[in-house]
Structure 1
Amino acid sequence: MNQIAKLLNSDNVVADLQVSSKKRLFEQVGLLLDECEGLGRSQVFDALFSREKLGSTGLGLGVAIPHGRIKGLKQVVGAFVRLATPVNFDAPDGKPVNLVFALLVPEVATEQHLQLLSDLAQMFSERAVREKLAAAPDSTAIRTIFAAWRAD
């Protein structure tokens, strides 16, 4: 199993979340990670929003990888959300985003954090993966897609 798939479980993958903006998405990711990982929702929101102020984490092609550092976090935490309706993310191609992988790392992040971001960017650059994620019927199918992908 690849490093990305190891971050995902049945509780931190959401299919067809309805939000109206990037800010609302970060709030929902905060709630999700509060429930399934015990992270403070405002801490998650602040980490993601602070990083986003530095520049958009939208990659283009309908994908974003918002990420941030959290003081006291012991290990990398991730969540995947497929949005029911795409939202503006100020991506380089100007297209709204509907596939979002949120990544939170310890304040003193290691090489693992950079490798995960690289693997995610590589994975999402594959059209077949994006199409499968967009068409997956539920969170279980989404997790299967992540588990099947392998970075070289």
Structure 2
Amino acid sequence: MDLSDLIEQDAIFPSLRSQTKKQVLQDLSERAAALAGLSPRDVYETVAARERLGSTGIGGGIAIPHGKIAGLSRIRGVFGRLAKPVDFDSLDDQPVDLVFLLLAPEDSGADHLKALSKIARLLRDPSVLGQLRALHDATTIHNLMTHTVPPFAA
């Protein structure tokens, strides 16, 4: 599974203005719903229900909210770089500025976990993190995430 299978260029939002965790989840849910042809409310309820089980803020300013949802034909992602970090109840108590929302079909099984693992590995790479925080356009961020171009200078 390649990240280019999970996220399209129009699913990259390089400067989200969300100011709270709930607003981040709502904004990314709306964008994911529009791209996938789903109800924004259903997407938000799916990721919010998962978030109630425990924060998806994994530390280092990163969150990976996720969930399985009916009506989705394939695993899809939406990435947002926040203009200002927000409290996400992260494991390290640090605010979050990079959020990768992942949605999977209800019957995705292990593919959902593989996608989560791939995203977490990418977002834990210090050189990738530095570049994600420095880049300001969707095309360049998408290229970095999908490795379609050589690494960028930070």
Compute the TM-score of the two structures, normalised by the length of structure 1.
Answer: 0.92
Spell out the pairing of 1:18-33 with structure 2 (5 A cutoff). 18-33=17-32
- The code of the aligned residue for 2:17 comes to Q
Displacement of 1:147 after TM fit? 1.4
Whether 1:96 aligns to 2:98 is no
Instruction: Report the identity percentage.
Output: 37
Superposed counterparts of 1:98-137, under 5 Å: 98-137=97-136
User: Partner letter of residue 67 of structure 1?
Assistant: H
Aligned to 2:151: none
Q: Deviations over 1:75-118 (max 9, x none)?
A: 11111110101111111111100111000111122211111111
**SS state of the match for residue 92, structure 1?**
coil
User: Given the alignment of the two structures, is residue 41 of structure 1 paired with residue 30 of structure 2, yes or no?
Assistant: no
User: SS of the residue aligned with 1:73?
Assistant: coil
Quote the Cα distance in structure 1 between the aligned partners of 2:32 and 2:115: 18
Any idea what SS the aligned residue of 1:78 has? strand
The more displaced of 46-55 and 36-45 is 36-45
Question: Pairwise mapping of residues 4-83 of structure 1 onto structure 2 (< 5 A)?
Answer: 4-83=3-82
What runs of 5+ residues in structure 2 fail to find an aligned partner?
Answer: 149-154
- Aligned-pair CA distance for 1:121: 1.2
Between the aligned partners of 1:39 and 1:96, the Cα distance in structure 2 is 29
List runs of 5+ in structure 1 lacking aligned partners.
none
* TM-fit CA distance, 1:30: 2.0
Cα distance in 2 for residues equivalent to 1:10 and 1:123: 17
Q: CA RMSD in A?
A: 1.4
> TM-score, normalised to structure 2's length?
0.91
